[in-house]
Amino acid sequence: MKSKQILATLVATLVIGSAQAAPDKPECIAPAKPGGGFDLTCKLVQSALANGGQLSAPMRITYMPGGIGAVAYNTVVAQRPDEPGTIVAFSGGSVLNLAIGKFGKYSEADVKWLAAVGADYGAIIVRADSPYKTLKDLVDATRADPAKVVYGAGGTVGSQDWMKSALIAKQAGVNYKNMRYVAFEGGGEALTALMGGHVQAYSGDASEIAAHLKGGKVRVLAVLAEQRLPGELANIPTAKEQGYPVDWTIVRGYYMGPKVSDADYKWWVGAFDKLLASGEFAKLREERGLFPFNLTGDKLTEFIKKDVKRYAELAREFGLGTQ
């Protein structure tokens, strides 16, 4: 009888401890202005946790632009390292910037990697009324006069969006150093510049462009994936199909501050494990143009370490500085 009472007490303690670990003031930091991929990533978890009932309080989204994630990363590590309710959106571009030293003195080991919840893919986009009907048209125009075709994207030279267009150029035999490239703070600004005619091509993400594609405002010349994507983008050819074997997969997910307690971190990992196993979350992810890519906790941490090494090698290939 006594052993049963002890067991019951332990179970009750675990349940209470788990409930106490749920954050009172959940927040998702999107490291850019509204409208881009980071915004999409935060809104995905905001909707999913509200629908799933894991949180008793609504999650707010805070926008913290600067350095394509660098400001948010440095802020969380140095000033807000132990907040149990704060998660930060990241993408493959964040990992690339870490790999080439754009986040300052901090490395991938300075945060707690929480969950990867989906994958996106690069896309080369022009306005619907653009004279460039195919990827070859755009590449040929760039080769003929690199100064004439202006590329825009969310990030400076060396960022993942720059890499997408640079890899295409390299495959086509165009000197990527001669390309005209305009950096914007996030995909939302870059897309606005495209629609305004300030740039002629936008190297962005497939998920960001879905809504604009429906409205007939843009034309996607290629998706940077191994195979054609399902759903609304099924008719868009890959770059590989068109003779340019470039694949750019963009993982999207979240990390936390380095001093968040193990109990709080485990609560979040558990919450994401539950989300990722649900059909409802799969629907929400699909609605946002993302594709399945599920990793949490230690498995994500190992994946990030390997990706940092891969991106560092790619950066050296393009002559970009690394730490």
At residue 45, the pLDDT reads: 96
Lowest mean pLDDT, pick from 8-17, 100-109, 185-194, 204-213: 8-17
Nearest to 99 by CA among 261, 310, 267, 275: 310
- Cα–Cα distances (Å) from 310 to 176, 260, 316, in that order, read 20, 28, 10
Structure tokens at 159: 């960022």
pLDDT of 8 strictly over 70: no
Mean pLDDT, all residues of the chain: 87
Which of the pair, 207 or 48, is modelled with greater confidence?
48
Residue pair 171/222 in contact by the 8 Å Cβ criterion = no
Where are any strands of DSSP class E within 64-129?
86-91, 112-127
Question: Which one-letter DSSP state was computed for residue 36?
Answer: S
Can you give the pTM of this predicted structure?
Answer: 0.74
Backbone angles phi, psi at 171, to 5 degrees: -65, -30
Nearest to 180 by CA among 204, 205, 195, 198: 198
pLDDT of 158 strictly over 90: no
Structural domains in the chain plus CATH codes:
25-119+250-317 (3.40.190.150), 121-248 (3.40.190.10)
Lowest mean pLDDT, pick from 111-125, 151-165, 265-279: 151-165
Confidence of residue 17 (pLDDT cuts 50, 70, 90): very low
